[in-house]
A and B are shown apart, each in its own frame.
Chain A
Amino acid sequence: MSRAGRGGRQLASFLWRASTRDEVDADIAFHLDMLTEELVRQGMPEGQARAEAMRRFGDLSAVASESRRLADERDSIRRRSEWRDELGQDAVFALRQLRRAPGFSAMAVFTLALGFGATAAVFSALYAVVLQPLPFLDAERVVALRPTRKGEMTGGTTAEYFALVDRAKTAFSHVAASVETGFTVRVGNTPELTGGARVSADYFRVFGIMPLLGRGFTADDDVPGRDGVVVLSHAAWMRRHSGDPNVIGRAISVDGAPRTVIGVMPASMDFTANADDLWVPLALTREDALRQGARFLDFRARVRDEVTIEQARAAATQVIRSAIEADPQRRSTAADFGAAVRPLIDELAGDYRSLLLILLGAGGFVLLIAATNVANLLIARGSVRARELSIRAALGAGRRRLLRQLLTESAVLALAGTVVGLALAFGLLRAVLAVSPEGVPRLDQARVDLWVLGFTLLCAAGSTLLFGLVPALRLTGNNLEASLRAGGRALRGGRDRLRAALVAVEVALAMTLLVGAGLLIRSALLIQRVEPGFDATGVYTARVLLPAAQYGDPADIRRFYDQLHRESSQLPAVAHAALVSTVPLSGNSASSSVRTEELGPDDPAPLVPNLRLASPGYFATMRIPLRVGRDLAPGDRVDAPHVMVVNELMAARLWPDVPLRDVIGKRLNAIAPTMEQPNWWEIVGVVGNVRSEALGAEPRPEFYVPIAQTPDLLWPYIQRSLVLVARTRSDAIAAATLERPLRAAVTAIDPNLPIAEGMPMDDFLRQSRGRLRFNTLVLGTLGGIALLLAVIGVYGVVSYFVSQRTQDIAVRMALGATPANIWAYVAARGLLPLAAGVGLGVVLSLATARLLEAQLYRVTATDPLTIGATALLLLGVSVVAMVGPARRAMRVQPVEALSA
């Protein structure tokens, strides 16, 4: 390509359209002129010749416009290929440059890799849990629909289900109700307890998933009496039936009754690790709907294509209110009710979304710090590069060309950083998975995949601009000729200031992260010291669930549990044994409103405490202290007067001015089937408070009623299920040693019963601390990386300063400066940006720590102790980082340095 042609095209790129127009016009005009002249030579008069030439040429405007279009295409193709050529040259040149400075390159790549790796690992978790679509057709249209009462989400009633099915057709193409439940499945001789759901006919159609084998439920199955069928999940089919396709039509024992397998769902239905194992028809009836049912249903629905979520919510609200108005016995105002409609994925991700976003933000901070650090390294290298660049500029390279060259070098660094960073992310992700709290949905699906790669490349592109552009603009923007003459020193003053500013930013970002980590660490320490109100040491828990088929009669249930209580208490390894509906910190809870005797019929219930069904000996087993009165006793039988034990908090809330001993004998109406049938209980004891929801949550008012006096209607709702708790004879004996004897005790009474959720009580404590520990670990790691990078930044600035000012220092020493003077002179360079950074960091921490509030325990987000300690830590570590360069400064030999 000739130089002139190249110059012409460069011009063309500025005046593009005009230039191809001129080019084509001139080309054609020349042709017409030549032809006209030729014709004149042949003897044609001038004017006629011109017309003849035009005629012979044909459609002038069509030819010209077609030619122009082609010329434009030609130019853009050439520009692109020229750009590619230069990019290739730049990349090769960049690689050569980086190889020439291996220390610098390794440092930059490592720093970036830390930033990219941290961000990529958090992003892959965020993607798996929150962003990754569910494996359904139009998954964003599958919603969880929850009735709300005064803004709080609750379960749905049978009446609401039928109302939604009948009258919400304009908003939802399918509505289904389901109840999560445990099942005892028996294949061969061993009963197994699994999780599943009872679902209405349209359940699978809501998800838009077709069965892999056989069929799903139809309206015909979803009827009492014809509901003896079961659909298996893919996982259950593989595990229990080894993927045998002949399983269809076979009968399996579910909760003691035979059910025919009619279908197997594909693996896409197992979208979380603890997804349902099997499904049976819910078989709700319209007759049930007439009796106002309990709020126990989950609704899932598919929103129609043309309907927005908000419209769907409005429609559901209207239907639910009309269902409540239609109830003749209603006690509540329909206007209090409404509906919450949100994509199923939001319901699944829950508050992990905000947690992961916070962590992603923290990863972003690390990335910013890394980018700032690399920018600093690049500026330091600028003094080496300035000379080379000014030579290239003198040889005719334009500013844009040099800028692009420098940015290409940054991009090569970023790309190398991405590769190393992804390897790092792979390791970090495995570490995150290893320490993650249980029950984060889909976290197990987190991978370093194409999405993560894409995200990281995006980060790389962004940070290339960030860390590459500022130094490059500076380097090419200054008077290059002057720097050629000064050998690079002309730029120094401004560069020092810029570097100091960058270090200040780094320190501020690191400070913010460290404050966050510090707040979490303080929370974790405080939680560790929290008294749960019970003693978990040596206590084993095991849930027992009685199938409806054999235990339909509440008398049978009472008899079974009574016998289990007696026999497990007599086991030689057991000191105390008891039964309870739910153990603290297990995530399960029940509650019931209570009414005092003084209350009028129209007064609202003063309190909705937690409710636990318990056997005698529960408080002894858990070492929950009895404050006054007595424990529940074997004499509190089904036909005896109803009694309850309350915790101190409940007594204090109901009767703030009454001494505890006078609470004994008071009566409360609770767990009443209707307003007309009160259920009075006499308080016989008061026990200590227990943190039953979470270690970080304050205790709630709570009451305990004897298992023998449990209202019959309650048993189906808790699936006739209780937890067996037992304490070892000595705290030194591990709780897990009780598993085998307890299992044997259950089997001795009924060989068909499995034990589910067998677990030492300590594990519940550990799980409750798990999430905070996870947050602390992740944010602490990110904070540590940030600290490291910031300190490297401070070190770099001071060290560079010393190397540039050797002569300066020598002069000072020659003039009699003491080592202390020199130290002060050098340290000032590092301390200034450090102090500015810490100041900025305090402001930034105060602004961002609020985001962490929900994760903290008994520490305010603006805790001055944490902020102060973090500032001291940063200052201390940075001062240590300055010692090396400072010592080098003090070793400067004046004579040598000055004569060099």
Chain B
Amino acid sequence: MPAYKDHLRGTLDALVLKTLSFGPRHGYAIASWLREQTDEALRVEDGSLYPALYRMERDGLVDADWGKTESGRKAKFYRITDQGRRRLRAEATEFAGFVKLVSPILLGS
């Protein structure tokens, strides 16, 4: 079901942008955050995070720099850009509209 898949990817992107809106972090931290926030319910393989990050970097939604972690390791830190913030806002609005439209039907009210 391609529409569903697309939606999932859009959701993953939006969630990543959401994470980064709190501050820069490396890929592992993003993955950990996703796992915690969704109670591991969102079963995405860790690996699928990276193409998403690189795609968003290509599209100018995130930027990245190499830096040091607290433990002194070299890691790539991702940052949200202004363009990324705008996208996040748009995704959120769209999702809210989607929920408002669908939930009365699926859940009753």
Decide: A56 and B45 in contact? CB cutoff 8 A. Answer: yes
> Can you name 13 A-B pairs with beta carbons within 8 Å?
A2-B65, A24-B50, A26-B74, A28-B27, A30-B76, A31-B26, A33-B73, A62-B47, A63-B51, A66-B54, A67-B53, A71-B54, A73-B58
Q: A23-B76, A27-B76 are in contact. Are A74 and B50 (CB under 8 A)?
A: no
B47, A63: Cβ atoms under 8 Å? yes
- Report B50-97 residues with CB < 8 Å from chain A CB: 50-51, 53-55, 57-58, 63, 65-66, 73-76
Are A66 and B76 closer than 8 Å at their CB atoms?
A: no
Judge whether B31 is part of the interface by a CB distance below 8 angstroms.
Answer: yes
Q: Please report the C-alpha to C-alpha distance between residue A64 and residue B46 in the assembled complex, in whole angstroms.
A: 12
Q: In the assembled complex, how far is the CB of residue A40 from the closest CB belonging to chain B, in whole angstroms?
A: 14
A31 touching B27, Cβ below 8 Å: yes
CB distance from B16 to the nearest CB of A (A): 14
Q: Does B48 contact A (CB under 8 A)?
A: yes
Min CB distance A3 to B, Å, is 11
Say yes or no: A70 contacts B51, CB within 8 Å. Answer: yes
- The A/B interface has a contact count, at CB < 8 Å, of 72
Question: Which of A30, A57, A73 is B47 in contact with, Cβ under 8 Å?
Answer: A57
For residue A35, CB closer than 8 A to chain B, the reply is yes
A-side contacts of B75, CB under 8 Å: 27, 30
Q: Which residues of B contact A187 (CB under 8 A)?
A: none
Please, how many angstroms separate the alpha-carbon atoms of A23 and B48 in the complex? 17
Chain A residues 56-108 with CB under 8 Å of chain B are: 56-60, 62-64, 66-67, 70-71, 73-74, 77
A4 CA to B75 CA, complexed, in Å: 15
Question: A2-B65, A23-B76, A30-B27 in contact; A58/B55 too (CB < 8 A)?
Answer: no
Considering the chains assembled together, what is the distance between the CA atoms of A35 and B75 in angstroms? 14
Across the two chains, which residue of chain A brings its CB closest to B55?
Answer: A70
Is A290 an interface position by the 8 A CB rule?
no
Contacts of A24 on B, CB cut-off 8 Å?
Answer: 50, 54
Interface: A5 (CB within 8 A): yes
Give Cα A683–Cα B48 distance, bound, in whole angstroms: 106
Which of A4, A63, A77 has the most CB atoms of chain B within a 10 A radius of its CB?
A63
Residue of A whose beta carbon sits closest to that of B30: A31
Is A34 part of the binding interface, using a Cβ–Cβ cutoff of 8 Å?
Answer: yes
Question: Using a CB–CB distance below 8 Å, which chain B residues touch chain A?
Answer: 26-28, 31, 45-48, 50-51, 53-55, 57-58, 63, 65-66, 73-76
A535 CA / B26 CA spacing, docked (Å): 100
A58 touches B47 (CB 8 A): yes
User: Chain B contacts of A59 at CB under 8 A?
Assistant: 45, 47
Which residues of chain A are within 8 angstroms of B74 by Cβ–Cβ distance?
Answer: 26, 30
In this complex, what residue of A is CB-closest to B73?
Answer: A30
User: Are A71 and B57 in touch, CB under 8 angstroms?
Assistant: yes
Tell me how far the C-beta of B53 lies from the nearest C-beta in chain A, rounded to whole angstroms: 8
8 tightest Cβ-Cβ pairs between the two chains A and B:
A58-B45, A58-B47, A70-B54, A74-B58, A63-B47, A34-B28, A57-B47, A66-B51
How near does chain A come to B12, taking the closest CB pair, in angstroms? Answer: 13
Given contacts A57-B45, A59-B47, A66-B51, whether A27 and B27 have CB atoms under 8 Å apart is: yes
What is the CA–CA distance of A56 and B45 in the complex, to the nearest angstrom? 6
A178 to chain B, nearest CB (A): 63
List of A residues within 8 angstroms of B26 by Cβ = 30-31
The size class of the interface chain A forms with chain B is 20 to 34
Q: Residue A31 contacts which of B46, B48, B55, B65 (CB distance < 8 angstroms)?
A: B46
Q: How far is the CA of A23 from the CA of B77 in the complex (A)?
A: 12
Q: How far is the CB of B41 from chain A (nearest CB, A)?
A: 16
Tell me the bound Cα distance from A66 to B54 in angstroms: 9
With known contacts A34-B28, A57-B45, A28–B50 Cβ distance under 8 A: yes
CB of B24, distance to nearest CB on chain A (Å): 12
A63 in complex: contacting residue of B50, B58, B73, B76, CB < 8 Å: B50
B92 to chain A, nearest CB (A): 24
The smallest C-beta distance from B59 to any residue of chain A, in angstroms, reads: 8
CA separation between A89 and B57, bound complex, in Å?
A: 25
CB-CB < 8 A to B46: which residues of A?
31, 35, 56-58
Q: Which residues of chain A come closer than 8 Å to B27, judged between CB atoms?
A: 27-28, 30-31
A5, A58, A59 — most chain B CB neighbours (10 Å): A58
Indicate if the CB atoms of A77 and B28 lie closer than 8 Å.
no
**B47 to A70, Cβ gap below 8 A?**
no
Residues of chain A in range 422-460 having any CB-CB distance to chain B below 8 Å: none
CA distance A899 to B8 in the complex (A): 83
CB neighbours (8 Å) of B48 from chain A are 58, 63
A35-B28 in contact given A27-B50, A30-B76, A63-B48 (Cβ < 8 Å): yes
> In A19-39, which residues have CB < 8 Å from any B CB?
23-24, 26-28, 30-31, 33-35
The minimal Cβ–Cβ distance linking A550 to chain B, given in whole angstroms, is: 83
Bound-state Cα–Cα, A33 to B31, Å: 13
Contact A77 B58 (CB under 8 A): yes
**A28 CA to B75 CA, complexed, in Å:** 10
Residues of B within 8 A of A31 (CB): 26-28, 31, 46, 50
Known: A67-B51, A71-B57. A30 touches B28 (CB 8 A): yes
What residues on A are CB-neighbors of B57 within 8 Å? 70-71, 74
Residues of B within 8 A of A23 (CB): 76
**Chain A residues near B58 (CB, 8 Å)?**
70-71, 73-74, 77
**Closest chain A CB from B33 CB (angstroms):** 13
Q: Bits for A1-23, please: 1 = Cβ < 8 Å to B, else 0.
A: 01011001000000000000001
Contacts of B76 in A (CB 8 A): 23, 26-27, 30
Q: In the complex, A62 Cα to B47 Cα: how many Å?
A: 9
Q: Is the CB of A67 within 8 A of B50?
A: yes
Instruction: With a 10 A CB-CB cut-off, give which of B31, B53, B54 has the most chain A CB atoms.
Output: B54
Q: Which residues of the partner chain A approach B65 to less than 8 Å between Cβ atoms?
A: 2, 4-5
Given contacts A31-B28, A70-B51, 6 further A-B contacts (CB under 8 A): A27-B76, A31-B50, A56-B46, A59-B45, A64-B50, A66-B54
Q: How far is the CA of A253 from the CA of B65 in the complex (A)?
A: 89
> What is the chain B residue whose CB lies nearest that of A5?
B65
In whole Å, how far is B29's beta carbon from the nearest beta carbon of chain A? 8
Question: Measured between C-beta atoms, what is the minimum distance from A627 to chain B in Å?
Answer: 94
Write out the residue numbers on chain B whose beta carbons fall within 8 Å of the beta carbon of A67.
50-51, 53-54
Interface centre among A5, A60, A70, A73 (most CB of B within 10 A): A70
| Chain B proximity mask over A39-65: 1 for CB below 8 Å, otherwise 0 | 000000000000000001111101110
Cβ-defined contact, A74 with B54, below 8 A: yes
- Quote the shortest CB–CB distance from A353 to chain B (angstroms): 52
Q: How far is the CB of B45 from chain A (nearest CB, A)?
A: 3
**Please, how many angstroms separate the alpha-carbon atoms of A59 and B46 in the complex?**
10
Task: Decide: A60 near B47, CB < 8 A? Known: A30-B27, A71-B57, A74-B57.
Answer: yes
Q: Separation in Å of the A574 CB from the closest CB of chain B?
A: 90
The A450-480 residues at the B interface (CB cut-off 8 A) are none
Q: In the complex, which residues of chain A have a beta carbon less than 8 angstroms from the beta carbon of B31?
A: 31
Query: How distant is A509 from chain B, measured CB to nearest CB, in Å?
Result: 51
Residues from chain B with a CB closer than 8 A to the CB of A58 are: 45-48
Smallest CB separation, B63 vs chain A (Å):
8
Cβ–Cβ < 8 Å partners of A77 in chain B: 58
Q: Which residues of A contact B51 (CB under 8 A)?
A: 63, 66-67, 70
Q: Considering only CB atoms, which chain A residue lies closest to B31 in the complex?
A: A31
**B11 CB → nearest A CB, Å:** 18
CA distance A33 to B73 in the complex (A): 10
Enumerate chain B residues within 8 angstroms of A73, measured Cβ to Cβ.
58
A352 to chain B, nearest CB (A): 55
Tell me, in angstroms, the Cα distance from A64 to B75 when the chains sit together. Answer: 16
Q: How far is the CA of A27 from the CA of B73 in the complex (A)?
A: 11
A8 to B51, CA, bound (A): 21
A687 to nearest B CB, angstroms?
90
Shortest CB–CB separation between residue A384 and chain B, in angstroms? 41
Residue of A nearest to B48 (CB): A58
Contact with B along A344-374 (1 / 0, CB 8 A): 0000000000000000000000000000000
Kindly report which residue of chain B lies nearest to residue A4, judged by CB atoms.
B65
A122 to B33 Cα, complex, angstroms: 71
What is the CA–CA distance of A60 and B51 in the complex, to the nearest angstrom?
11
Closest CB in chain A relative to B104 CB, distance in Å: 37
Inter-chain CA distance A28–B48, complex, in Å, is 11
| Bound form: Cα–Cα A879–B73 in Å | 77
